[in-house]
Amino acid sequence: MAETETMEMNDPKVIAKYINCLSILEENTALLYNGLSERVETPLVKSLLLSISKDSSKHSTLLKGIAESISDIKQSPKDCAKNLGEVWSIVNNYLNELNKKERGDKLYFSELLPMLTALESSLGEEYYIFVQMKTLQLMVKEINQIYSIDLKNIQGVFESIIKDEEHHREILATIKDMIDEKSKSQDNTPKVKYQNPDAWSRSLPPATYDSM
């Protein structure tokens, strides 16, 4: 969240637009993980990615409900790109790249893991800001003009999302370990001995197993 945006977070409409953008971002994140799950072969990895996708979709629904409870909002993807900056670009760029690929295309999943882990950290930070700032109190004040709701209830929603993002990082770490173990177990390539004065040997180059 940029400093200028933080300063404007005393405006209910700005808050609502920002949360709505986070809702759209989470939905795009859900699509990204779902698309990745369709392109991996290992059943457990597929299931783990789907679980993150479902959590992200749940987050999107919750955030949209909060945003619409604060203010009636209409905005374009360009508005969200401006509000969220890099994290918006990361998700949408990778989602666009994924959609361009055919189902049979090679997926170097291990190359995406650092990006996905950084994404989950960035999302967690966005929600942590709401929990710590006075923005949360203002949000509840606006919502209470129509609905009767306790501050702790809204805070609990954001805290539950933060916990989910932490769990997602743990899931991604598990997937990374699975990829590393699979690579090690399959990297038993035969040795080729060269008959030369130095009498040295080397391994054949290992195959790529990133597609899981």
Q: Among 143, 129, 145, 173, which residue's Cα sits nearest to residue 68?
A: 143
* Predicted pLDDT of residue 123: 87
In total, how many domains does the chain have?
Answer: 1
Instruction: Check which CATH number belongs to the domain holding 78 and give it.
Output: 1.20.1260
- Of 48 and 152, the structure prediction assigns the larger pLDDT to 48
Q: Classify residue 113: in a domain, yes or no.
A: yes
* Stretch 137-164: mean pLDDT: 74
43 in a domain, yes or no?
A: yes
**Integer Cα distance of 101 and 91 in angstroms:** 16
Q: Average pLDDT of 90-94?
A: 87
State the average pLDDT for the chain: 76
Q: Report if residue 68 sits inside a domain.
A: yes
Helix locations, 101-187, DSSP H:
109-132, 135-143, 151-186
Contact between 106 and 44 (Cβ < 8 Å): no
Residue whose entry in the numeric block shows the structure tokens 């710590």 = 132
Could you list the residue range(s) of the whole structural domain that residue 111 is in?
3-186
Is residue 85 assigned to a domain?
yes
131-160: string of b/e by CB count within 10 Å (b at 16+)? beeebbebbbebbeeeeeeeeeebbebbee
DSSP state for residue 202 in the 8-state scheme: E
What's the confidence (pLDDT) of residue 195?
40
Domain-located, residue 195: no
Which of 171, 58, 26, 56 has the alpha carbon at shortest distance from 113? Answer: 171
Q: Is residue 119 part of a domain?
A: yes
- Residue 192 belongs to what H/E stretch? strand 191-193
Picking from 10-19, 94-103, 133-142, 164-173, which range would have the lowest pLDDT averaged per residue? 133-142
- pLDDT, tens digit, 9 for 90 and up, residues 25-84: 999 999 999 999 988 888 999 999 999 999 999 999 999 998 888 778 777 788 899 888
Alpha-carbon distance of 169 to 171, in angstroms, equals 5
